[in-house]
Amino acid sequence: GAVVSQHPSWVICKSGTSVKIECRSLDFQATTMFWYRQFPKQSLMLMATSNEGSKATYEQGVEKDKFLINHASLTLSTLTVTSAHPEDSSFYICSARTGKSNSPLHFGNGTRLTVT
Amino acid sequence: EDQVTQSPEALRLQEGESSSLNCSYTVSGLRGLFWYRQDPGKGPEFLFTLYSAGEEKEKERLKATLTKKESFLHITAPKPEDSATYLCAVQAGQYGNKLVFGAGTILRVKS
């Protein structure tokens, strides 16, 4: 089955530093990947849509200069949290589709970011 | 604006006690309704996709149904390993590409 791999699974960083999270599609090519954020006991909120070879599309209220997305190949998208602050601490999850535009999203196992 | 509401927020069942989770939605042009299971600290795991009213899907102890306003996830004779958060999501609009998630139902099954 479709596998989406996310790395790292958890990271702790100091306030003001930047953190990069990688999302890979292991057995399929993904022209589009989606980045979600999840706060404790809350649902998934879409942050941005990552498009291979072009700029990402950000949801309303998401700072594109703070959450940098790069989708340089058909199997890799990265999310960089720049100048992280404690309020950026959250669970970040990426996802991708293997088929048609209304086929299911397959999710990575998420990255727990803690900013101290 | 597309909205997804799940109920109940939490559900405690005894092993073998069947029940149903609800997902009600208001969208413009449903393209698909998706059920996921999420374990603590993990990403969501895909369970079912439903595309049109009247459609049903089954997998082991789980059965998902869809009407024009809501979807149900029926759990028959649950086991402790069915304990998880169950998420419902919708994809809508003619060119809609993203999923909008409900808040989820936390299911606990006690032996």
Residue-wise pLDDT for A4-45, tens only, equals 999 999 999 999 999 999 999 998 888 899 999 998 888 899
pLDDT bracket for residue B95 (50, 70, 90): low
pLDDT bracket for residue B25 (50, 70, 90): very high
- Supply the mean pLDDT for chain B: 94
Q: Tokens 């890979």 belong to which residue?
A: A24
Q: Is the pLDDT of residue A90 over 70?
A: yes
The three-state DSSP-derived secondary structure of A17-53 is: CCEEEEEEECCCCCCEEEEEEECCCCCEEEEEEEECC
How many contacts (CB atoms, under 8 Å) link A and B? 52
Could A102 and B31 be called an inter-chain contact, meaning their C-beta atoms sit closer than 8 Å? yes
Q: Is the pLDDT of residue A1 over 80?
A: no
Q: Identify all chain A residues contacting B34, using CB atoms and an 8 Å cutoff.
A: 104-105
- Beta bridge partner(s), residue A80: A20, A68
Predicted pLDDT of residue B29: 85
Q: In the numeric block, which tokens belong to residue A35?
A: 């980045």
Q: Identify all chain B residues contacting A109, using CB atoms and an 8 Å cutoff.
A: 42-43
Q: pLDDT per residue over A52-83, tens digit each?
A: 888 999 999 999 999 999 998 999 999 999 99
Residues 6+ apart with CB under 8 A from A91: A37, A38, A39, A110, A111, A112, A113, B41
CA atoms of A47 and A39, how far apart (whole Å)? 13
Which residue on chain A is closest to B99 by alpha carbon?
Answer: A46
Q: Tokens 């999310």 belong to which residue?
A: A79
Which residue on chain A is closest to B39 by alpha carbon?
Answer: A109
Contact A18, A4 (CB under 8 A): no
Predicted pLDDT of residue B110: 97
Average pLDDT rounded to a whole number, residues B38-60: 95
